[in-house]
């Protein structure tokens, strides 16, 4: 019920914290009135004024309260007749005679007694006629101080608690969970037909299969009878899985923009609070709201925050708050029927660590894998992100798509934005092709550091190192084709070589060995030319070690170990402390990894010895120009005799020859950059790769 809805008969009124403030204010006002004798007038005075009034005979009595407050009472006759006391003759709303006290001043009781005795000594004649004045001594409690002594601390504690509840319960007073009693309310942001959601499927490029699946979900909710008439059941959940930046959250935003049904959006971390039971309470409230507004869609981003497999952390107790939240989510997803028309959408980068009970059929019926975009999908993504940019005439979208293999949708958006920033720094009126290339270089390799101090000896080693990478990769069939080589420090590297890897679905042993050999070409060139090696090959060694370990332990490409893998795709062994193989097998694995790397290192050295003159010529070009491109290698080595996979596909299409079929495996492509590691990378001594 909204705030504007009148209270129904017999229903208790809604609690409002303002009532507390009003009651406290009224109590304080009443206390002030009572403590001030209903507005009686008391003027400040001193002992000298008291002496004058004593000699004049105006004082009826004196009262000393709590040994410090001296109150003077004027005789009623003097009060009624003398003009000096006209302002204090009456008090209160009814203008009744003022009973007093009429004057007040503060003075310690012992000093007051001394001053009074001194007054008597100085006015003996008056004392003989009138006698000593009536002085009363009283001890009265100060109710105002006592009230403040316990009301103020309690009030401060209550205000602090109220403030903390507001902060932990959702922030603003108007939002869900904004009050202390609403902490268990759902914090989901609701989008409906009246909400302005500008993201639609027009803003989502690529992901054709995922878009079809999601569009079907939207159609389920718009036209449920279309499917239920045939006996079908509306799916309860759709899980979007894939690498970061591939557009999972964007796809969900497009659903909110396209669907004409309420869309509840929140993150998995919104369920987690420091109070026990809050997460489960928010899950219940979320599904309650969705059922009331059905048909509806619930979208939980980063669902792995609450959906992680239970029982994986041995250190956590059995009453883990995250597990309680997950249990409640499982219950709610299994509890509502097919006639309620509520679909749950989730997004995660780690689908392998989700609880199996969450991704079973009947909860998340469909798992949509959103992979990194292919060439044609990257073209579509570039077309979307290039629309707001002022482009030059030489910008080729197809060329940009070919230069960015392995880039996600977020990476492409970053490239377009960075290109615009690069063009703006150069005071250009439009974004040109070179700006995009500079943007890719900056994102992949880092910012150029032309002012970094490098000795001539180090620069020469870096040049031969990068020339070694370029030479070996050019002479091997399956190595990635070179784009450019630079010895200008960039980011955390002292030099780098850019390659354009082929987008393969399958990797053979020969292809992986050629890539490892090209990676070791830098250190091999150092040993061949200078007969010594440096610490600069850190990134190279890291890369080849990962490749060799994958060949031996994951892909089963080692003859000694055979067709066996120790890879667990379910992620269930992530928290195990023991290895899935024996110590003897571990020793064999280490030996085979070392043999693979050393074999390709020797192969790289032999290739460089056979082409020593070309290696030297390439290094001299690098030292002279600092940056060389593919054309420079063609001038020295000639064109590569091998066709790329793309050229092979095009040739087969021209000849109308079918391509060989195969079972695709998940390998993934990435922009390869052979870097010369710097001392900043791992706090290593200065070196080159």
Query: Which helix (H) or strand (E) is 61 found in, with range?
Result: strand 59-65
Q: Cβ(250)–Cβ(370) under 8 Å?
A: no
Instruction: Give the separation between CA 689 and CA 543, rounded to whole angstroms.
Output: 13
Nearest-angstrom CA–CA distance, 666 and 372: 11
Beta bridge partners of 299: 265, 345
The residues that bridge with 62 in the sheet, in sequence order, are 72, 135
Phi-psi domain of 144 (left: phi exceeds 0; alpha: psi -120 through 50; beta: other): alpha
Options 258, 321, 432, 466, the catalytic residue: 466
Give the C-alpha separation, 211 to 203, whole Å: 12
Closest by Cα among 122, 130, 116 to 64: 116
Contacts of 232 (CB under 8 A, 6+ apart): none
Q: How far apart are CA 527 and CA 514, in angstroms?
A: 19
What residues are paired with 239 via a beta bridge?
Answer: 346, 367
Which alpha helices (DSSP H) does 494-644 contain, by range?
509-519, 521-530, 538-553, 583-610, 612-625, 630-637
- Reply yes or no on whether 466 is catalytic: yes
Q: C-alpha distances in angstroms, 634 versus 176, 467, 522, 609, 641?
A: 66, 14, 20, 19, 11
Instruction: Look at phi and psi of residue 87 and say left if phi exceeds 0, alpha if psi is from -120 to 50, else beta.
Output: alpha
Q: Which residues are catalytic?
A: 466
């Amino acid at each position: 019920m909204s705030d504007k809805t009148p209270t129904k008969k017999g229903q208790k009124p809604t609690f409002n914290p303002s009532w507390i403030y009003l009651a406290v204010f009224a109590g304080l006002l009443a206390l002030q009135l009572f403590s001030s004798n209903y507005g009686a007038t008391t003027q400040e005075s001193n002992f000298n004024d008291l002496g004058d009034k004593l000699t004049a005979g105006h004082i009826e009595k004196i009262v000393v309260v709590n040994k410090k407050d001296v109150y003077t009472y004027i005789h009623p006759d003097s009060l009624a007749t003398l003009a000096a006391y006209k302002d204090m003759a009456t008090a209160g709303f009814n203008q009744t005679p003022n009973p007093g006290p009429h004057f007040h001043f503060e003075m310690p009781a012992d000093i007051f007694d001394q001053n009074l005795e001194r007054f008597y000594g100085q006015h003996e004649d008056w004392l003989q006629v009138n006698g000593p004045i009536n002085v009363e001594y009283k001890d009265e409690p100060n109710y105002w101080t006592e009230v403040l002594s316990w009301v103020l601390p309690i009030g401060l504690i209550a205000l602090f608690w109220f403030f903390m509840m507001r902060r932990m319960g959702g922030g603003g007073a108007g939002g869900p969970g904004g009050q202390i009693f609403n902490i268990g309310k759902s914090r989901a942001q609701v989008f409906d037909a009246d909400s302005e959601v500008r993201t639609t499927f027009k803003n989502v490029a690529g992901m054709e299969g995922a878009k079809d699946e999601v569009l079907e979900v939207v159609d389920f909710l718009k036209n449920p009878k279309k499917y239920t008439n045939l006996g079908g059941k509306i799916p309860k959940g759709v899980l979007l899985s894939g690498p970061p930046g591939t557009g999972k959250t964007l796809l969900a935003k497009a659903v909110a923009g396209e669907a004409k049904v309420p869309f509840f959006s929140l993150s998995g971390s919104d369920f987690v609070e420091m109070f026990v039971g809050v997460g489960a309470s928010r899950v219940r409230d979320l599904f309650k709201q969705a059922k009331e507004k059905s048909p509806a869609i619930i979208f939980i981003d980063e669902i792995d925050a609450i959906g992680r497999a239970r029982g994986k952390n041995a250190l956590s107790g059995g009453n883990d708050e995250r597990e309680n939240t997950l249990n409640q989510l499982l219950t709610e997803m299994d509890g509502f029927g097919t006639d309620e028309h509520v679909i749950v959408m989730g997004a995660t980068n780690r689908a392998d660590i989700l609880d199996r009970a969450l991704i079973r059929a009947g909860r998340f019926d469909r798992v949509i894998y959103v992979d990194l975009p292919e060439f044609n999908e990257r073209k579509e993504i570039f077309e979307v992100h290039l629309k707001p940019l002022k482009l030059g005439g030489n910008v080729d979208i197809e060329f940009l798509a070919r230069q960015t293999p392995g880039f996600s949708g977020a990476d492409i958006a970053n490239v377009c934005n960075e290109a615009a920033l690069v063009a703006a720094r150069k005071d250009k009126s439009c974004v040109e092709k070179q700006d995009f290339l500079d943007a890719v270089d900056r994102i992949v390799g880092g910012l150029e550091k032309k002012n970094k101090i490098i000795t001539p000896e180090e620069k020469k080693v870096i040049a031969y190192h990068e020339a070694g990478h370029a030479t070996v990769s050019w002479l091997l069939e399956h190595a990635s084709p070179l784009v450019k080589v630079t010895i200008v420090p960039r980011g955390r590297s002292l030099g780098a070589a850019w390659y354009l890897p082929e987008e393969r679905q399958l990797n053979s042993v020969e292809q992986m060995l050629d890539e490892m050999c090209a990676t070791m070409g830098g250190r091999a060139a150092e040993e061949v030319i200078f007969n010594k090696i440096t610490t600069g090959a850190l990134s190279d060694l890291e890369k080849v070690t990962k490749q060799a370990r994958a060949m031996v332990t994951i892909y089963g490409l080692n003859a000694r170990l055979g067709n066996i893998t120790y890879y667990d795709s379910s992620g269930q062994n992530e928290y195990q402390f023991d290895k899935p193989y024996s110590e003897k097998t571990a020793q064999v694995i280490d030996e085979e990894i070392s043999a693979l790397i050393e074999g390709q290192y020797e192969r790289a050295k032999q290739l460089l010895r056979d082409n020593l003159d070309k290696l030297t010529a390439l290094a001299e070009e690098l030292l002279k120009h600092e940056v060389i491109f593919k054309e420079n290698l063609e001038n020295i080595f000639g064109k590569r005799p091998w066709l790329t996979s793309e050229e092979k596909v095009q040739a087969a299409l021209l000849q109308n020859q079918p391509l060989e079929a195969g079972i695709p495996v998940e390998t993934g492509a990435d922009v390869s950059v052979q870097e010369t590691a710097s001392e900043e990378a791992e706090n290593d001594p200065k070196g080159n790769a």
